[in-house]
Chains A and B, each alone.
Chain A
Amino acid sequence: MSEVERPGAAEPERRPFLRWLTIVFGGLAGALAGIPIVGYFVLPKPKKIAWVPLGRANEFAEGETRLVTFDNPLRQPWDGMIAHAGVYVRNEGVDGDGQLRFLVLAVNCAHLGCPVSWFPQSGLFMCPCHGGVYYADGARASGPPPRGLFHCVWRIENDELQIEAPHYPTLQDTLDPHDESRTACSPRHEPRGLA
């Protein structure tokens, strides 16, 4: 070190510390702000389970397919009429145990989600978009759909037919996780509170 000290010659001793401090605080600031912000964007919303009443179970005529519309409780309060939803309900009669059985199908075509229409005269569901056709039990009849219609989870509570509020169904995220056969309908009787 030279005899004559330049002004500020002491700085180089503090500067590495300052640099280090800047990196630490910079990283801390980035993490403190960044982690919750990224979390806000990527965290999935809590899954809501709600049951939708569709009507008195014995008021569905046996063997008849009917479109039932309702306000989907998975909606946001500001969703308005876009939250209106529909499912096709079919009373399948009484099973061996004397229990009423139902078939509840989402309106969304398994191909690309367009709403299928029910034609009672021919007993077929037809999709307006690419001509997917399904039989009355929801099984694929023809056209581009890779599978049958999506089955909703239903139950009967106090003689009332209820379904689990349906999310938007897609091929890897169906409405009924137990619906592997994709044609049979599985009732779920364990009671769950209406959300």
Chain B
Amino acid sequence: MKRALATIGQWLDRRLAFREAILPMLRHPIPRGSAGPLGWWYVFGSASLTLLLLQIVTGIGLALVYVPAADKAYESLLYLDYEQPLGWFLRALHYYAGSGMVVLVLAHMTQVFLHGAYKYPRELTWVVGVALLLCTLGMFFTGQVLRWDPDAYWGLAVAGSMAGRVPQIGPRVVQLLLGGAVIGGDSLSRFFTLHVFVIPGALLLSLGLHLWLVLKCGISAPPDPAQPVDPRTYDAAYHAEVERDGVPFFGDALLKDMLFSALAVIVVVGLAAVLGPKGPSGPPDPTLGGANPRPEWPFLWLFALLSLSPPASETFIILVFPVILIAILLLVPFISNRGQRAPSRRPAAVLAVIVIYAVLATLTYEGATAPWSPDMTAWSGAAVPVSMVEGASPLRLQGAVMFQNKNCRNCHALDGVGGRRGPDLSEVGARMTSDQLIDQISNGTPGGGNMPAYGKQMRPAEMTAIVEFLSALRPDGGPAATDPSTRDTAQPLADASGSSGAATQ
């Protein structure tokens, strides 16, 4: 039996010549250090690859059932979630393994950056790695559209509006993105094609190149402050070291990778089983209302940055900023491809990583909570706290009703409940006088800012009632706000102020 197998093996190998081509790759020596305890730093790349394989398998499974047509996609997702045996699990696993891939690719890049492993001769490996990151993010973005729910529709609307800002050729870019004059089946087919053919093709091609480069340039040894990179001597020193002291690539060194990959799979399977599939959030009918599209979590930071920036810089942030970021990432190994690799000798690199992740985390948190989005139902859904109207005069009560009816609550919270687009008004009476309130409400934010001018949106009596209600909103027993420019006692300043009446309408 054994001999028969050996004969078959020899017959095959005489034709395939795998032994000659593959074995040296598996056996090629890698630095001993990367197989030691420091080898735990090297596990993120292989784990990303493991999750990619999981994505391919689950993706093929989903494609067997999913219908990429605008009128059937939603139903086929419901079928996957509720009728196809384990369909819900495959959808969930595809989402969480994809999320895990983004996390691991970022961890891998961070490790390579901190260890200076992108330096000579591995510059190109880093550049191809950046392409892999972009492919991974591209898969995430296009995958979100395939969920074909209102979020997907309005996400496409936002993307279309962004594309429409490209100077000159904006309308053409919108057409290219949406596939037609409106968001519809053509848009879905487009994103399906990108998600299933185009980006995976680019990803696998880049991955092949990346792995080829890993083999050809060799796995980097753990950084050693005593051995800075010098392109003139690096290759000879590296080869001398692995010849003398190296361990085979395919061997114990891979055990850590395999163990970590197994853990990564267990985590995403656990997340999928416990949390279940994501969406679809509702039928894809754009007239149903209540839209509030949020990008997927890897893009929340950019969404937050855009939303927190002044409108004048928006087009820059949408169109130019991402290009600059990608260019910087691509240029990393060309800015410095020699010298120290050890993080202990590269404080600027360590600081950069800390700052970048702190910024990303803060912006992601802001993006997830999105305080800039009004609460569109607060005016009718969130009652005025009783404590604010207890024992109030009829005029103040009327003001409270007006405050709700004029939709102020959509942007202004009371006691923390309501929109957070504008300031919480629970204690506004201590900050602004009646005159200032009238001015603010009538004219809105000066210079066309974030508050609309309500001057023509309410009658004088309504204004009086609202201002009466608002100026009574003060901390317990707190004094009413005063305007230094109109106060005629104690402050000599008041005399000098010729414009004291200006705030009064």
Please give the residue numbers on chain A whose beta carbons come within 8 Å of chain B beta carbons, in ascending order: 44-45, 47-48, 67, 69, 72, 74-76, 78-86, 108, 111-115, 117, 119, 121-124, 126-131, 133, 135, 140-144, 146, 166-168, 170-173
Besides A86-B287, A113-B158, 19 other A-B contacts (C-beta < 8 A):
A47-B181, A69-B287, A75-B184, A76-B70, A80-B70, A82-B184, A82-B185, A84-B285, A84-B287, A85-B287, A113-B154, A114-B291, A114-B293, A119-B379, A122-B458, A126-B376, A146-B311, A166-B182, A170-B170
Bound together, the chains give a CA A158 to CA B326 distance in angstroms of 57
Does B286 sit at the interface, judged by CB under 8 A?
A: yes
Mark the stretch among B42-50, B95-103, B160-168 that contacts chain A.
B160-168
* 21 pairs of residues in contact across A and B, judged by CB atoms under 8 Å: A45-B181, A48-B181, A69-B287, A80-B185, A82-B184, A84-B285, A108-B157, A113-B154, A113-B160, A114-B293, A115-B154, A122-B405, A126-B410, A127-B374, A129-B373, A131-B373, A142-B451, A142-B453, A144-B314, A167-B182, A168-B174
B interface, size bucket? 35 or more
A145 to chain B, nearest CB (A): 8
Bound together, the chains give a CA A130 to CA B292 distance in angstroms of 10
Bound together, the chains give a CA A133 to CA B410 distance in angstroms of 11
A-B contacts, CB under 8 A, total: 179
**B residues near A133, Cβ cutoff 8 Å:** 452
Chain B positions 404 through 424: 1 when the CB is less than 8 Å from some CB of chain A, otherwise 0: 011100110000000101000
**A residues near B445, Cβ cutoff 8 Å:** 142
A127 to chain B, nearest CB (A): 8
Does B284 sit at the interface, judged by CB under 8 A?
A: yes
Known contacts A144-B314, A170-B171: A74-B182 contact under CB 8 Å: yes
**A residues near B284, Cβ cutoff 8 Å:** 80-82
Please give the residue numbers on chain B whose beta carbons come within 8 Å of chain A beta carbons, in ascending order: 69-72, 74, 148, 153-154, 157-158, 160-165, 170-172, 174-175, 178, 180-186, 283-287, 289-293, 307, 311, 314, 372-374, 376, 379, 405-407, 410-411, 419, 421, 444-445, 448-454, 456-458
A84–B406 touching, CB < 8 Å: no
Nearest 10 A-B pairs (CB), nearest first? Answer: A80-B71, A170-B164, A141-B452, A167-B181, A113-B157, A113-B161, A173-B171, A142-B452, A79-B184, A133-B452
A78–B71 touching, CB < 8 Å: yes
Bound together, the chains give a CA A172 to CA B162 distance in angstroms of 11
**B residues near A78, Cβ cutoff 8 Å:** 69-72, 185
Q: Which single member of B157, B372, B421 contacts A168 (CB below 8 Å)?
A: B157
A107 to chain B, nearest CB (A): 8
Bound together, the chains give a CA A78 to CA B170 distance in angstroms of 27
Residue of B406, B419, B457 ringed by the most chain A CB atoms within 10 A = B457
Bound together, the chains give a CA A172 to CA B166 distance in angstroms of 9
Bound together, the chains give a CA A133 to CA B453 distance in angstroms of 10
Known contacts A44-B175, A168-B182: A115-B286 contact under CB 8 Å: yes
**A residues near B292, Cβ cutoff 8 Å:** 114, 128-129
Known contacts A44-B175, A144-B314: A83-B184 contact under CB 8 Å: yes
A172–B314 touching, CB < 8 Å: no
B4 to chain A, nearest CB (A): 47
Nearest opposing residue in chain B for A167, CB measure? B181
B142 to chain A, nearest CB (A): 17
